[in-house]
Amino acid sequence: MSNFAIEIFILLSIGLSVLGIRICVRLETVYGKKLALDDYFTALAVPLYLVEIALAHAARSHLGGLANHGMSDAERARLGASGEEHTLRVLGSQIYLAGWVVHVSLLWTLKAAMCSFCSRLARNLGACREPIYAGFALLYVTWIATFLSIMLSCRPLSRNWQISPDPGNSCQPAVAKIDLLVTTVLDELTNAYLLSIIVLMLPHMRLSLLKKLELITVSVCGAFVMTAGILRCVLAMTSSSIGIEQAERWAVREAFAAIVTVNMPIIYPFIVRGLRLLRNRNRPKGIPGLPRPNPPFFPNDGVIWVTNEFGVGVGIEIREGQGSVIRREDAHECICQTPDITGK
């Protein structure tokens, strides 16, 4: 097995694990209630991610990166239409074209999931609603523009896998400059806008140190996604065989980093809770129902946290001496600034 295959399958395993944990955490959180929009976007990302990895593996490991690029006019003329290499190059070009569509669809699906997640967090922040709605509109318009660029930059569509005569750079899916530039520019634009939404929300959110570290990590991962997209574009535009292979690697890395970035805010509390359980496994068990301080990843908003009969933290909202249990969905997710209802 090649190094490329080993890398993409390792990233696939980790990426699917992240997606699986995220889905399980959300199912446990909503406890049979209605899932949110970002949950459906995340579920859609699973088959798209599988298809992208399968196409990348087929193009590099089975076809050796062969397509309708990187050939002189003489080589194209000598290549018979019925030969094996001609068949492989046609198939490779078709796979590269399909890979473009799937890769863009996966990235924009994950962007939509992140925008939806921000919308849930900002449900009590009126000042942040309009930028989030504008984000949805921006994602829709840019995805349509990117898709049309890929599908319409070379007409008729069959020229994307034409071998002889040379169809031109715009009809060579692996190295088409117009596809690379349009996709990269719009990808970076939307990534920067989503990061700006998070920055805009920060002044309106009461966060602990660990939650701040989480958002910093998300921002760093977002910056890595942007860097991976730029590297993919630059390497592919060299049109060399080594550059194209490296571009394929960075495309897979970009998709993986996007998956981790989008799902980290959901799985981070789960990871922290798991580490805490491991750390406290050998300690004496506490008395069920004993009030505990706020976990470091929850806001200090006048809520006293206790342990239920299952060992899961639930929120108690103090009102006029009477306690009412907050839904675990709100307790798990709401990190927005709220008034101190205890009057302290």
DSSP 59-116: IIIITTT-SS-S--HHHHHHS-TTSHHHHHHHHHHHHHHHHHHHHHHHHHHHHHHHHH
The predicted structure's pLDDT at residue 182? 96
Encode pLDDT of 147-167 as tens digits. 999 999 999 999 999 998 899
* Residue 32 falls in which region: left (phi positive, over 0), alpha (psi -120 to 50) or beta: left
The predicted structure's pLDDT at residue 189? 96
- pLDDT over 50 (residue 305): no
The predicted structure's pLDDT at residue 9? 95
- pTM of the entire predicted model: 0.80
Cα torsion 222, 225, 226, 231 to 10°: value is 160
The predicted structure's pLDDT at residue 55? 96
Q: Rounded to the nearest 10 degrees, what angle do helices 37-57 and 84-121 cross at? A: 160
Domains by residue range for the chain, with CATH: 3-276 (1.20.1070), 286-344 (no CATH)
Query: Residue 172: is it exposed, middle or buried by C-beta count within 10 angstroms (0-12/13-18/19+)?
Result: buried
**167-181, 187-201, 266-280: range with lowest mean pLDDT:** 266-280
Cβ-Cβ contacts under 8 Å for 206 (sequence gap 6 or more): 299, 300, 301, 335, 336, 337, 338
Distance, in Å, from the CA atom of 279 to the CA atom of 295, rounded to the nearest integer, reads 14
